Amino acid sequence: MSNATGPQSLSRLLADTPAFRRLICEARNRAAPTNGSTGLPADLPLPPALAEHTRIQLDGNRLLLSARNNSVAQMLRFHGPRLAKAAGVADFQVRVTPELFGAGAQAGRRAAPPAGPTLSGEAARTLAEAAEGIEHEPLAKALKRLASLGEG
């Protein structure tokens, strides 16, 4: 009586060899509908909420996932193994590349505060008047310095 020591199936044997795995992936991509220039399957299971914030490329036997920002990248790291398996590749890499997404890439960020302190002319005059009536010299100097930052 002999025990089976060989592979269970031919497809498993082929999938264990990197060169054959790449050929299988290419054949699968040619047979399946694709999403355009990337050559990836159109039904790649990318969550719809991430689709507009993600660019996907196939680099040899690795899936490159470009994210608009860090929060999208974190979600792609979670979904990466499943996406790589669906694309028929062994590995994936996530990169944060906001420059790939155009002007809207920074839309979620707040505008930088204006440079330096701003003080209206009226507030500056009020501080200067208050400094004149204060006997404590260090406080009076501080108020005058603050008043000098006013407009006009």
Residues pairing with 7 in the sheet: none
Q: Please give the average per-residue pLDDT across 54-73, as a whole number.
A: 90
DSSP for residue 89: -
Q: Are 146 and 129 in contact (CB under 8 A)?
A: no
**Residue 39 in this model has a pLDDT that exceeds 90:** no
Higher local confidence (pLDDT), 33 or 113: 113
75-93 confidence digits (pLDDT tens)? 999 999 988 888 888 899 9
Indicate the average pLDDT of the chain: 78
What are residue 56's DSSP bridge partners?
65
User: pTM above 0.75?
Assistant: no
pLDDT, residue 73, reads 94
Place of tokens 């929060």: 71
Out of 21-25, 90-94, 100-104, give the one with best mean pLDDT.
Answer: 90-94
**Average of per-residue pLDDT across 101-109:** 60
Residue 12: pLDDT over 90: no
pLDDT digits (tens, 9 = 90+) for 117-132: 678 889 999 999 999 9
Q: Of 31-40, 61-70, 106-115, which gets the smallest average pLDDT?
A: 31-40
Please list the residues that pair with 34 across neighbouring strands: 41
Instruction: Check whether 38 has a pLDDT greater than 70.
Output: no
- Res 37 pLDDT > 50: no
Q: Where are the domains of the chain?
A: 10-102, 116-152
pLDDT exceeds 70 at position 104: no
In three-state secondary structure terms, 19 is helix
Q: Which amino acid is at 143?
A: L
